[in-house]
Amino acid sequence: MLPFTPQERRVVLYFSSVLLLGLVLRGLFRVAPFVEKSLVILEEDRFRPKVSLNRADYEELLAVPYIGAVTARRILERRRTRGPFRSVDELREVPGMRGKNLERIRKYVRTD
């Protein structure tokens, strides 16, 4: 055996295992590209918690896909002046939130 201490052997074994795992995954991605898509399943939209239009602050609204700084301020202004949202469809009252924009964010927000 090589003149390594037990701790050094564990480190070598760990790095060897990581390297081997990387090579195996790389080979899988080349042979079956769908494997890579299944490994990033946690990034799918269905696992993203919905943001409450009635409770979210500015930063939380910014975290919602397709909502930028201007839209977040408009949503907060609408909530301040007209009260809580009763449905997601009331986002149509927010300037710029019609048609495609509304449909894009519908799956990311809720009204409680």
Cα–Cα dist 81/77, whole Å:
6
pTM value > 0.75: no
Cα–Cα dist 10/5, whole Å:
9
pLDDT at site 72? 95
Q: Spell out the domain ranges in the chain.
A: 6-39, 45-110
H or E, element range at 28: helix 6-31
CATH superfamily assigned to domain 45-110 = Photosystem II 12 kDa extrinsic protein (1.10.150.320)
State which residues of the chain have pLDDT below 50: 41-42
